[in-house]
């Protein structure tokens, strides 16, 4: 063991300590480890930075933009009330979540799928009286399992595929160098013919190739969750509850002409059991329908009067077919898709105290429309325009984000703050977003485009068609994930350059002998352990060079080990820190670390067994 291997192992232990004991952020810990290896001379600058040029990493970044376009247009909100329905049992509720989410995650990155589904499922759980802790963990696990079935279902697979392409290209170049000139011409002709016939599009794996292992593992995992999750997951109290907010507003929403809600009953439209909000009355043709019954049918131009907290008003804002009933909303000088909801507290220097909102010409003065008013945490039983504002009133206004900067230091308001994630969705563009996403899939599957090329085109079309704006595209990229991937791949290069990969493999051979199946089982098992400790992307970056070294040492094909690392690195079930979807549901579900180990431990073993059995059958050694 040379000094470079010792330094590499020392840095890896330091990274593990920072992640597990100090709870450092994965991107900071891995970037710090890569920096130490670079300074120590274990890895040169070119190899250290090579991870940030990985094709898979760039594809992940672009797919964030594509997913944001789908989210901003509400392109997948159809999976909400109509698909989830009203299940009678917890097991039925879990199945209605897991199977659609697994299918969706196979065709788009699983992280944005969970991000889009979480608020929908939280509301649905409250309406149907289910504990949210019984639903969010199966949501995350279903997304991870579904992501194993295709090339771009999870960013981990994309990253490993990028590494695989590099190795295959290097090996092909080496073969060409060692071959005679006439042999090279034959190889090039054969490759060209294969490309033209569609048999060979590029190095790496194809879009659905991983499904040979991923699909059986996913089905087995989903069945395990369906039959045992309701027993293994305890009922927890969420660390984040909507009802901590004392501000209660009264808000009127107008049913638009052509709305999909027209003709539905209040129950069918999902307006009966809104979390943190209730439908107080309907104003229809100047007649007030109080104590609205569940079977009351919605008509065009109904004015629905709701009472509730601000988070629920955000949900109403995003409901297709409803808009705020005040006509002032349509007179603000910016498109609705560019506006946000803002809370502003009226100060004692507000120039229009004791004047109604209509008399003060609030919209003209501030280029903002008042949606609702709360006074001492209670609703005010008046139409918005007739409310006389006094010092201390909290206004919920719809305006361009520039309103915040203009009024932050104004004497008119004590406090101005934006309501998170409150921009109205662009439902009129949903069909375009769906068409763009379908085009991306068709180009990859039917025309053998590279995933990066197809996703770049899709992202560009999302911006050109205004499904999302440039600023939203920039904000949609999770840079911490990209840094984690790039740094993890850089550390993987350090393991390879220092010779630590050969050292590890030689010691593993002492355990497994020359048996490639045992080696595959061991590499998969260790990768699964590390993916739960240091994040999936980091584990993939660290164990890919070990997989390559194992194939060389045993003189067998590389593919079984690569597929094993792909599946194992994506199998982050046993801890909340291994994968971002687990972290996303950790707080809202009120979970403990032991909950993930109780459910995710057996699930990991199931996936591990299936991977070790099936992989050599499809990709022989």
Please choose, from the candidates 7, 162, 35, 10, the residue with its C-alpha nearest in 3D space to the C-alpha of residue 490.
35
Q: How far apart are CA 162 and CA 176, in angstroms?
A: 21
In DSSP notation, 91-123 reads HHHHHHHHHHHHHHHHHS-HHHHHHHHHHHHHH
pLDDT of 619? 93
**Residue 522 near residue 68 (C-beta atoms within 8 A):** no
**Residue 230 near residue 94 (C-beta atoms within 8 A):** yes
- Strands across the sheet containing 378-379: 378-379, 368-375, 394-399, 340-346, 413-418
Q: Which tokens is 156 given?
A: 């981990």
pLDDT of 521? 94
**Residue 223 near residue 141 (C-beta atoms within 8 A):** no
pLDDT of 402? 85
pLDDT of 167? 86
Tokens 């280029």 sit on residue: 367
Q: Which tokens is 603 given?
A: 């699930």
Q: What would the 3-class secondary structure string for 555-598 be? A: CCCCHHHHHHHHHHHHCCCCCCCCCHHHHHHHCCCCCCHHHHHH
pTM of this prediction? 0.71
Residues recorded for the chain: 621
Domains for the chain: give ranges and CATH numbers.
Answer: 3-155+209-235+477-618 (no CATH), 243-418 (3.30.70.1450)
Q: List for the chain the helix, strand, coil content (%; round to 5).
A: 60, 10, 30
pLDDT of 240? 47
pLDDT of 143? 92
Grouping H, G, I as helix, E, B as strand and the rest as coil, residue 155 is: helix
Contacts of residue 102, defined as CB under 8 A and 6 or more positions apart, other chains included, come to 142, 143, 145, 146, 149, 218, 222
Per-residue CA distances from 148 to 113, 184, 213 (Å): 14, 37, 8
In DSSP notation, 329-382 reads GGGSSS-GGG-EEEEEEEPTT-TTTTSBTTTTTHHHHHSEEEEEEEETTEE--S
Q: How far apart are CA 138 and CA 135, in angstroms?
A: 6
In DSSP notation, 22-81 reads S---HHHHHHHHHHHHHHTTSS-HHHHHHGGG-HHHHHHHHHHHHHHHHHHTTTTGGGTH
Q: How far apart are CA 353 and CA 350, in angstroms?
A: 6
Per-residue CA distances from 319 to 86, 119, 491, 584 (Å): 19, 13, 46, 23
Q: How far apart are CA 123 and CA 277, in angstroms?
A: 11
Q: How far apart are CA 140 and CA 115, in angstroms?
A: 10
Contacts of residue 560, defined as CB under 8 A and 6 or more positions apart, other chains included, come to 516, 520, 615, 616, 619, 620, 621
Please choose, from the candidates 507, 607, 510, 503, the residue with its C-alpha nearest in 3D space to the C-alpha of residue 563.
607
pLDDT of 300? 87
Q: Which tokens is 25 given?
A: 């952020």
Q: Which residues of the chain have pLDDT under 50?
A: 192-201, 240-244
């Amino acid at each position: 063991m040379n000094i470079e291997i010792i330094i590499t192992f020392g840095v890896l232990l330091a990274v593990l300590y920072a992640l597990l004991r100090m709870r450092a952020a994965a991107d900071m810990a891995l970037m710090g480890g890569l920096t130490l290896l670079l300074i120590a001379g274990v890895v040169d600058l070119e190899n250290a930075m090579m991870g940030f040029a990985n094709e898979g990493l760039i594809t992940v970044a672009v797919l964030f933009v594509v997913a944001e376009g789908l989210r901003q247009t509400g392109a997948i909100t159809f999976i909400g009330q109509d698909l989830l329905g009203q299940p009678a049992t917890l097991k039925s509720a879990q199945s209605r979540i897991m199977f659609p989410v697994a299918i969706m995650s196979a065709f788009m990155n699983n992280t944005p799928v969970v991000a889009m589904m979480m608020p929908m499922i939280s509301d649905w759980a409250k309406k149907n009286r289910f504990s949210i802790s019984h639903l969010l963990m199966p949501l995350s696990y279903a997304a991870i399992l579904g992501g194993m079935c295709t090339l771009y279902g999870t960013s981990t697979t994309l990253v490993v595929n990028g590494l695989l392409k590099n190795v295959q290209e290097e090996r092909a170049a080496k073969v060409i160098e060692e071959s005679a000139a006439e042999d090279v011409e034959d190889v090039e002709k054969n490759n060209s013919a294969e490309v033209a016939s569609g048999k060979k599009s590029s190095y790496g794996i194809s879009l659905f190739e991983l499904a040979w292992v991923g699909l059986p593992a996913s089905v087995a995992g989903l069945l395990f969750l369906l039959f045992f999750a309701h027993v293994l997951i305890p009922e927890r109290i969420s660390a984040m509850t909507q009802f901590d907010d004392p501000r209660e507003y009264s808000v009127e929403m107008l049913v638009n002409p052509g709305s999909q809600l027209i003709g539905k009953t209040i129950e069918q439209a999902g307006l009966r059991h809104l979390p943190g909000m209730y439908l107080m009355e309907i104003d229809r043709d100047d007649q007030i329908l109080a104590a609205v019954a569940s079977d009351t049918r919605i008509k065009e131009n109904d004015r629905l009067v709701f009472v509730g907290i601000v988070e629920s008003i955000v949900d109403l804002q995003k409901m297709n077919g409803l808009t705020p009933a005040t006509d002032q909303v349509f007179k603000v000088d910016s498109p609705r898709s560019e506006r946000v909801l803002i809370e502003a507290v009226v100060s004692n220097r507000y120039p229009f105290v004791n004047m109604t909102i209509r008399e003060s010409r609030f919209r003209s003065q501030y280029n903002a429309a008042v949606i609702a008013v709360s006074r001492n945490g209670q609703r005010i039983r008046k139409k918005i325009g007739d409310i006389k504002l006094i010092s201390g009133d909290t206004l919920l206004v719809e305006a361009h984000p520039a309103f915040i900067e203009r009024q932050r230091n104004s004497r008119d308001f004590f406090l101005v703050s934006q309501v998170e994630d409150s921009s109205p969705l662009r439902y009129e563009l949903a069909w375009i977003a769906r068409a763009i996403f379908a085009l991306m899939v068709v180009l990859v599957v039917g025309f053998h485009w590279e995933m990066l090329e197809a996703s770049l085109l899709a992202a560009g079309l999302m911006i050109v068609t205004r499904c999302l704006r440039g600023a939203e595209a920039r904000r949609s990229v999770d840079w911490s994930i990209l840094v984690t991937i790039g740094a993890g791949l850089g550390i993987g290069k350090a393991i390879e350059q220092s010779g630590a990969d050969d050292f590890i493999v030689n010691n593993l051979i002492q355990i497994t002998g020359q048996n490639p199946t045992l080696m595959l089982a061991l590499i998969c098992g260790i990768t699964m352990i590390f993916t739960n400790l240091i994040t999936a992307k980091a584990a993939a970056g660290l164990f890919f060079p070990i997989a390559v070294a194992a194939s060389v040492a045993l003189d067998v094909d590389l593919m079984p080990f690569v597929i094993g690392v792909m599946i194992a690195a994506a199998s982050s079930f046993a801890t909340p820190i291994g994968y971002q979807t687990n972290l996303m549901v950790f707080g809202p579900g009120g979970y403990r670390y032991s909950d993930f180990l109780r459910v995710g431990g057996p699930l990991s073993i199931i996936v591990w067994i299936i991977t070790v059995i099936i992989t050599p059958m499809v990709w022989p050694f």
